C-alpha cells in the first residue's frame, strides 16, 4: 500500500472513530438525562409512599370509637359540661371529622399512587429498551410528573392533619374515656350497654 493510501485509510479511521465516539457520547448524554428525570419521579413517589404509611385500619378504628363515645356522652351524661369537658368534646368532634376525611380520601390517593408507580416503571422499561424517542419521552414524563406532583400534594393535605392531631387525640381520648368510666361506675344502664357493645366487638 502506498503512503498516500495509508494516509487516506488512517484519516478515514480517525474520522470514523471520532463520529462513533460523538454518537456514543450523545446517546449516553440522552440516557443520563432520561435516568435523572426518572429518578426524580421515583424519589417523589417514595416520599408519597412514606406519607401514606399511616395505618388506615387504626384511623378507621379510632373514628368508630369517637363516634360511639360521643353518642354515649349525649345519651348518658346528664350534667352541665365543664368548660374543659365542653372544649374537649368540641375538639373531639373536629378530630372525628378529620379522620372521616382521611378515611374517605385515602383509598383514592393510595390507588392513584400505585397506578403512578406502575406507569413510572413502564416508562423506565421503555427507555431501557429504546422503545421511546425523545419527544415522546418528554411528553410522557411531563404528564407523569404533573400527576405525581398532584398526587403528592393530595397526600400531604389528608395526612398532615392526622399527624398534627395525634397529641390532641391522645390527650382528649384519655380524658373522655376517664369521664365515661366514672359514668359507668355510677350508671348501671350505661354499664350494661358498654358490656353489650364490648361483647359485640369481640365477635
Q: State the cell numbers at 72.
A: 354515649
81-131 pLDDT, tens per residue?
999 999 999 999 999 999 999 999 999 999 999 999 999 999 999 999 989
**CB atoms inside a 10 Å sphere around CB 152:** 19
CA distance 93 to 73: 12
Residue 198 pLDDT: 81
52-86 pLDDT, tens per residue?
999 999 999 999 999 999 999 999 999 999 999 99
Kindly state the DSSP code that residue 6 receives in the 8-state scheme: H
9-61 pLDDT, tens per residue?
445 444 444 444 444 444 444 578 888 999 999 999 999 999 999 999 999 99
Smallest CA-to-CA distance from 75 within 187, 197, 202, 178 is with 187
Kindly state the DSSP code that residue 130 receives in the 8-state scheme: T
Residues 6+ apart with CB under 8 A from 41: 120, 123, 141, 144, 145, 148
- pLDDT band, residue 8 (cuts 50/70/90): very low
Straight-line distance from the first to the last Cα atom of the chain, in angstroms, rounded to the nearest whole number: 96
Q: State the cell numbers at 112.
A: 392513584
Instruction: Name the region of 133 (left: φ>0; alpha: ψ -120 to 50; beta: rest).
Output: beta
**For residue 64, how far is the Cα from the chain centroid?**
22
Backbone angles phi, psi at 133, to 5 degrees: -90, 175
130-180 pLDDT, tens per residue?
899 999 999 999 999 999 999 999 999 999 999 999 999 999 999 999 999
Indicate yes or no: pTM above 0.95. Answer: no
The residue behind cell 403512578 is: 116
Residue 14 pLDDT: 47
Backbone angles phi, psi at 147, to 5 degrees: -65, -40
Amino acid at each position: 500500500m502506498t503512503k498516500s493510501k495509508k494516509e487516506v485509510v488512517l484519516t478515514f479511521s480517525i474520522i470514523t472513530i471520532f463520529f462513533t465516539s460523538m454518537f456514543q457520547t450523545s446517546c449516553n448524554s440522552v440516557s443520563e438525562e432520561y435516568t435523572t428525570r426518572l429518578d426524580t419521579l421515583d424519589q417523589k413517589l417514595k416520599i408519597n409512599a412514606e406519607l401514606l404509611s399511616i395505618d388506615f385500619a387504626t384511623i378507621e378504628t379510632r373514628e368508630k370509637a369517637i363516634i360511639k363515645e360521643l353518642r354515649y356522652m349525649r345519651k348518658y351524661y346528664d350534667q352541665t359540661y365543664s368548660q374543659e369537658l365542653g372544649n374537649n368534646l368540641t375538639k373531639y368532634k373536629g378530630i372525628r371529622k378529620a379522620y372521616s376525611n382521611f378515611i374517605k380520601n385515602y383509598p383514592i390517593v393510595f390507588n392513584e399512587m400505585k397506578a403512578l408507580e406502575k406507569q413510572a416503571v413502564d416508562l423506565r422499561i421503555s427507555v431501557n429498551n429504546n422503545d421511546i424517542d425523545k419527544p415522546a419521552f418528554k411528553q410522557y414524563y411531563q404528564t407523569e410528573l404533573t400527576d405525581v406532583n398532584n398526587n403528592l400534594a393530595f397526600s400531604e393535605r389528608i395526612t398532615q392533619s392526622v399527624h398534627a392531631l395525634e397529641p390532641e387525640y391522645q390527650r382528649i381520648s384519655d380524658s373522655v374515656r376517664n369521664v365515661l368510666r366514672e359514668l359507668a361506675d355510677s350508671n348501671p344502664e350505661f354499664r350494661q350497654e358498654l358490656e353489650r357493645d364490648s361483647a359485640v366487638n369481640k365477635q
